[in-house]
Amino acid sequence: MKVPAPIVWQQGRLRLLDQRRLPTSVEYLDIDSIDDAVTAIATLAVRGAPAIGIAAGYALAASAARSPQADRTAWLAGLDAAAARLAGARPTAVNLAWAVNRLRRLAHAGAGADALVGEAEAMHAESEAVCLGIGRHGEALIEPGATVLTHCNAGALAVAGIGTATAPMYLRHRAGVPFRVLADETRPLLQGARLTAWELAEAGIDVTLICDNMAAVMMAAGEVDLVLVGTDRVTRNGDVVNKIGTLNLAVLCRHFGVPFYVACPSSTYDPDTPTGADVTIEERHADEVLGTQAARVAVRNPAFDVTPAALVTGIVSEHGIARAPLADTLAGIMTPAGPPG
Ligand code: MRU
C-alpha cells in the first residue's frame, strides 16, 4: 500500500496515524493510556469500524501489560473497566465491542497480559487476510470499464491491508482491469475527499471526487454501474448501518436500477442485534456541520444511517457473498464451518 499504516504496533507501543490531518500532514500519535486511546477513537484520529476495533484491542492489551497482575481479581476488574470505556468511545460500530470482548473472554478464561498482546496482534494480522478474502469474493462485481461509486472511507486507512469496500478495487487494479471510481466527498468530515480519493489516487486507481449531492445526477446519466460501500454494523436481518448518506445512495440505486453492495467483514456482523432500529446512532458535535461559514443555528449531526436489508443487493464478506433474503442467508456466510473460502 502506498498510504501510511493507520495502526502501528512497535515494541509494545501503540501508534496511530492521525487521520484528522490527512492528507496534508502525516503524523502519528503515541497512545500510552486508555485515556489516549478513547480520545483518539472519539475524535476520529483513528476511524473506520475495523481500525477502531484493532486500536482498542492493542490499547487494552497494552494497559493490561502495564497493570500489576499479582492480584488477579483486581487486574481483571481493571481490564473490564478499561474495556467498557473503550467500547463506549463510539457507539455505532460493533467492532469496538467485538474486539474488547474477544480479549476479555481470554483474560477471564485465565490468560495473562502477554497472551492478550498476542491476541491483539492476531486480530490485526487477521484483518489483512479478511480484506483479501473480501477482495477475492468481490472483485468480479467490477466489470472491465465499470464505474464504481463509494462513500466515506472503507479503505486501507479504515482497517489494514487493502481495506474492505476498496479490496475488490485494489485487486482489479493489480490485475490490470480498467475501471473508474467515483468517491463521494462525505460531508461533514470529508472522509471520501480526504481519505478515499487520496488513497486510491496514491495507488494509481482512476478516481473522481464528487459532492454527495451529485450521485443522483451521475446515476441518471448512466455513469454508475455499481455502488460498493463499507459498514459499521450489519444486524441479524441484514440492515446495514454505515456513514450518513449511505441510505441516500441505496434509495437512488433502487430507483435507477444500480446494484448496491456492502463489504462486511464477519467481525462487523452483529447477529445479537435484530434490526438496524436497535442500533445506537452516534450524534456528533454541531461544529462539524457548521464549520466557520454557516449561520449559528440548531444542527443535527447523526454520523450514521440505516439502510434496510431490502435495498441491499448483496453483502460481501471474507467467506462469500450473501444475497436476498439476507435474514436467511447472512448467518451461513458470516459463520461458516471452515476458514475463509
Ligand atoms: O466515522 P467513520 O469515519 O469512522 O465512519 C467510517 C465508515 O462509515 C466506514 O464506511 C465503515 O466504518 C467501514 S470501514 C471498513
Q: What is the pLDDT of residue 337?
A: 61
Distance (Å, whole) CA 295 – CA 40: 29
The mean pLDDT value for 80-97 works out to 97
Res. 57: pLDDT tops 60:
yes
Assess whether the C-beta atom of 152 lies below 6 angstroms from ligand 1: yes
> How many whole angstroms from 51 Cα to the centroid of ligand 1?
9
Assess whether the C-beta atom of 86 lies below 6 angstroms from ligand 1: no
Q: What is the pLDDT of residue 339?
A: 52
Assess whether the C-beta atom of 159 lies below 6 angstroms from ligand 1: yes
The mean pLDDT value for 229-256 works out to 98
Q: Which helix (H) or strand (E) holds 314?
A: strand 314-317
Considering the chain, what percentage of its residues have pLDDT values greater than 90? 95
* Grid cell digits, residue 86: 473503550
> How many whole angstroms from 278 Cα to the centroid of ligand 1?
19
> How many whole angstroms from 111 Cα to the centroid of ligand 1?
31
Could you confirm whether 30 is annotated as catalytic?
no
Burial code (b: 16+ CB inside 10 Å, e: under 16) for 164-175 equals bbbbbbbbbbee
Res. 338: pLDDT tops 80:
no
* Cα–Cα–Cα angle for 201, 203, 205, rounded to 5 degrees: 60
Assess whether the C-beta atom of 231 lies below 6 angstroms from ligand 1: yes
The mean pLDDT value for 164-190 works out to 98
Assess whether the C-beta atom of 243 lies below 6 angstroms from ligand 1: yes
The mean pLDDT value for 177-199 works out to 98
Q: What is the pLDDT of residue 191?
A: 98
Assess whether the C-beta atom of 130 lies below 6 angstroms from ligand 1: no
The mean pLDDT value for 306-316 works out to 98
Assess whether the C-beta atom of 303 lies below 6 angstroms from ligand 1: yes
- Inter-axis angle of helices 49-66 and 95-108, to 10 degrees? 30
Res. 11: pLDDT tops 70:
yes
Res. 308: pLDDT tops 90:
yes
pLDDT (tens digit, 9 = 90+) per residue, 124-162? 999 999 999 999 999 999 999 999 999 999 999 999 889
Q: What is the pLDDT of residue 111?
A: 96
Kindly report the protein residue whose alpha carbon is nearest to atom 5 of ligand 1. 48
- Which residue among the candidates 18, 225, 232, 305 is catalytic per the annotation? 232
Res. 340: pLDDT tops 80:
no
Assess whether the C-beta atom of 55 lies below 6 angstroms from ligand 1: no
Closest-lying ligand 1 atom to the alpha carbon of residue 242? 8
Q: What is the pLDDT of residue 88?
A: 96
Q: What is the pLDDT of residue 1?
A: 61
pLDDT (tens digit, 9 = 90+) per residue, 272-283? 999 999 999 999
> Residue 238: which of 267, 271, 278, 263 has the closest Cα?
271
Of 130, 151, 185, 191, the residue with max ligand 1 atoms within 8 A of its CB, to mutate for a pocket test, comes to 191
> How many whole angstroms from 126 Cα to the centroid of ligand 1?
19
- 3-class SS of residue 263: strand
> Residue 230: which of 198, 206, 195 has the closest Cα?
195
Mean pLDDT of the chain: 96
The mean pLDDT value for 169-178 works out to 98
Of 132, 152, 212, 227, the residue with max ligand 1 atoms within 8 A of its CB, to mutate for a pocket test, comes to 152
- Map out the domains of the chain with their CATH numbers: 7-130 (1.20.120.420), 134-333 (3.40.50.10470)
Q: What is the pLDDT of residue 294?
A: 81
Question: pLDDT-derived band of residue 292, with 50, 70 and 90 as boundaries?
Answer: confident
